[in-house]
């Protein structure tokens, strides 16, 4: 696993709380998607479960963690688009009793903001009446979506956006290659997501999509390469258009009202493409392009 240098001060903050005896049983880890919340949670879990308390990597607990077989380490992830009540109830059932290794038990709730109301209510009792030695790590992309009854019972730890220099160190890229970092951050999210696209050699392709959308908006005709995008990349391709229109609206305020319905539609369609495959992108892109008045299409 690549080291994420921007996590170091965040982990130090957590360690200071621990050393001061101010560690709560529930911790909400906040930050944009792909910024490294899961990696931070792994480092925290390792320290809580390690027999030395430091995540030594050598003790029995650390070896079990490395093999993914530690009986006191639990994960709960969305089932489809939601974390459902059955998953929370099953988790709580697993936590009843004592720790297998006689120490702490650690639960990581991924994308915790996706808990539906029933799931959140089921978890609430555990937050109100903590089980001894159980630590809940709630990873949250959108804190405002999480029910206040949940968030108010959690300590908070914020994973900040990394600097360009930190991302450069993480990805091993030269400075010129990272000149577009602010754009990648808006489009893809955190550096972990960007790393996947870099490893697959797809970042030049995204820049080609951006230019293709600019040409399409200028002339009102869809550039062929936009319709030939692989289905699994369709959501990102539509996000490229979303940010082109968003930037155009910022440059000319009169466009904001005009583009608002289309921007909302683009967000919904991109989200749909992330969940489902099999869409024919050519007619979809043509329909979206047709909704943009020619005189307002260009930046």
Residues 185-237: pLDDT tens digits?
Answer: 888 888 888 888 888 888 889 999 999 999 999 998 999 999 889 888 999 99
Cα separation, 268 vs 58, in Å, equals: 47
Split into its structural domains, the chain has a count of: 2
Cα separation, 55 vs 157, in Å, equals: 19
Residue ending a domain, among 97, 124, 158, is: 158
What is the value of pTM for the model shown? Answer: 0.80
What's the confidence (pLDDT) of residue 75?
Answer: 96
Contacts of 21 (CB under 8 A, 6+ apart): none
Do the domain assignments include residue 184? no
Name the stretches of the chain with pLDDT < 70: 1, 174-177, 294-299
What's the confidence (pLDDT) of residue 3?
Answer: 84
Same structural domain, 48 and 148:
yes
What's the confidence (pLDDT) of residue 2?
Answer: 74
Cβ neighbour number for residue 75 with a 10 Å cutoff: 15
What's the confidence (pLDDT) of residue 254?
Answer: 77
Do the domain assignments include residue 188? no
Domain with 95, as residue range(s), is 5-158
Whether 143 contacts 15, CB under 8 Å: no
Same structural domain, 18 and 154:
yes
Same structural domain, 119 and 218:
no
Strands, DSSP E only, in the chain?
26-30, 73-76, 105-109, 134-140, 155-158
Whether 277 contacts 197, CB under 8 Å: no
Cα separation, 294 vs 72, in Å, equals: 59
Residue ending a domain, among 158, 187, 213, is: 158
Same structural domain, 133 and 264:
no
Same structural domain, 249 and 137:
no
Same structural domain, 32 and 153:
yes
Same structural domain, 141 and 254:
no
């Amino acid at each position: 696993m690549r080291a994420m240098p921007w996590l170091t001060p965040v982990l130090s903050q957590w360690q200071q709380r621990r050393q001061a005896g101010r560690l709560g049983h529930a911790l909400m880890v906040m930050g944009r998607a792909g910024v490294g919340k899961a990696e931070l949670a792994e480092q925290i879990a390792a320290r809580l479960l390690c027999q030395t308390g430091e995540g030594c990597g050598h003790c029995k607990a650390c070896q079990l963690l490395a093999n993914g077989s530690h009986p006191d380490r639990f994960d709960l992830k969305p089932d489809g688009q939601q974390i459902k009540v059955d998953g929370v109830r099953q988790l709580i059932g697993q936590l009843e009793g004592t720790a297998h290794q006689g120490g702490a038990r650690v639960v990581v709730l991924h994308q915790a903001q996706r808990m539906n109301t029933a799931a959140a209510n089921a978890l609430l009792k555990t937050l109100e009446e903590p089980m001894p030695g159980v630590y809940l790590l709630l990873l949250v992309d959108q804190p405002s979506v999480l029910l206040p009854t949940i968030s108010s019972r959690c300590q908070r730890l914020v994973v900040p956006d990394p600097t360009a220099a930190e991302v450069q160190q993480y990805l091993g890229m030269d400075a010129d290659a990272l000149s577009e970092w602010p754009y990648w951050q808006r489009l893809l999210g955190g550096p972990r997501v960007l790393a996947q696209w870099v490893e697959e050699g797809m970042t030049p392709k995204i820049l080609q999509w951006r230019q293709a959308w600019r040409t399409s908006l200028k002339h009102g005709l869809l550039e062929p390469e936009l319709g030939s995008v692989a289905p699994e990349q369709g959501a990102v391709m539509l996000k490229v258009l979303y940010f082109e229109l968003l930037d155009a609206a910022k440059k000319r305020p009169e466009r904001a009202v005009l583009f608002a319905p289309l921007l909302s539609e683009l967000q919904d369609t991109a989200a749909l493409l992330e969940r489902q495959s099999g869409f024919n992108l050519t007619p979809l892109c043509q329909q979206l392009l047709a909704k943009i008045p020619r005189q307002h299409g260009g930046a």
